[in-house]
Structure 1
């Protein structure tokens, strides 16, 4: 098979890029397409230091700094990729990658991290957090999101088979496109973690500082409890979070993987208050032997077993998180490190590669034979 992999943007090595990394491990001869490529030389290892075919957005003014603001142009940009030389196209989609144009003899499989969330069920939350609920800018933004929804729905018909990163996202795919999706969980590098390290008396959270991640909720809860908390991450909410952090909270900013790994292996518990599509850090925490205290909605409800590998709280509020931490502190749950590690093993790189390879090869065989793909 001649394989093309299409991703939205290459600017970091985060969750969706780790999926791309493993797809390229499965198909090392695949060509890679991305709307923009701003990886630094020391970040290019995960794509095998290969060249990337980019779109016209790469050359637009200030694209490196503000490429996300060119979102209205991205549907047009992704449609300009010429993929006619390939038998199989694999799109890694959380915005527009699934909208590539393919021919009837080409198989298009889309691995969906999420349907474009700020155009669908999170539109009102996005507008509220961006201060765009009213006014001319708000009206223009609503019009753009309306256009994106129309395009997003239409482009779903270009995909032959959907793969979702969780049951939660499979339901979102059905809600948005009325298409079923096979679930293959993202890969976690289990080899990074030693789950048998002695635990210390601090809690840990690792997150980008953006509103929907709810780092503020964690900080407020630990201010109230007076317990030690280490926060790793950075983002647009940094100043606000720093201003509210009390004396028991240490903000370390962005840190390399080695520092994150070390803290996960030593922390008493890992805090995760966001509603995420999958949430790779709670799985990494379990791989490191750290119990997870998390908001029990989204992908984390599929990766953390309440009472066995963590504590799930039911409301995204300070009070609900405080009660969950108190119950954990009181020893109401016996959370065994071997059980934590066994749970995390289900999401290993080996499992991901086997499942995705089998999915693609079986789907391609059925496609060539003219059998139904869903």
Structure 2
């Protein structure tokens, strides 16, 4: 049923979800593409988005539900054939697609916004200390301190930076430039989370991840979100382009070991990354070259890399990322775009956008 679903969603003009004058027109216009890429990427994980799509589509109309059963008996021939069988005896304009649109809105809200608002709300903020205080500590001591620190406070982030140095070295893997404070002429660094820690304590987001990528992926997110398997040090501009979903990390097992590859989004073969990044699409990212690389896993967890890359592809390829970036820009009251905006104003503005578009549920 995957090919049938993708074929039907390719007929976005015939679905009529982007009709002029409809509430939430901008969101509705990208909904077929959003569902298309959600299904396509979810299938790679063995997720349940496809099944959920058919369930919600069947809930739109009894005749539609009957036609879905007929479609299950047919091999895929063409997108048009799948569309014709699905809407046999129906005019799409007469169908209330609210259940499907609501499903898409849930993913847009709880997956898209969470992944593109990485600042999130920190918990357990504590007094910071410099890298120089901890980088010379033994790895076992750092791991123990990370375990004891708990929460998402500044102290723990500094400990994770130190562990990242020990795993990957004192230079940016993307720009090939040394980091300060190890080199006074080096680049400024930021600790990047592969999966943004903004998903922390968000049950709706975790539910969407489970449907998208399966329960095992959620378990890895929950257990490793704020640990060495989910972080790396980056030059600050490379970090910015990562959070804007301009690139991601593909993890592959080759010859019994995991290798990591730089991927532009969308894929642009042999094209160099944005800004100061020197890697080209498809080139290997040399994780694990630090003094304790092997002990610290030789790189971030492959499942987390694959999950972030898949979500990034969905949001970028569908156009959802452009909407979220525009809203983040609008959320800044002083007119200056702040990459890590996590303000209450943004949340309220986003809720207002959903309410005005008819997507919000008012209790």
User: What interval of TM-score do these two structures reach, taking the shorter chain for normalisation?
Assistant: under 0.3
Counting strand residues as a fraction of each chain, which structure ranks higher? 1
Counting helix residues as a fraction of each chain, which structure ranks higher? 2
Report the TM-score when normalising by structure 1: 0.24
Larger radius of gyration: 2
Report the TM-score when normalising by structure 2: 0.24
Higher relative contact order (CA 8 A, sep 6+): 2
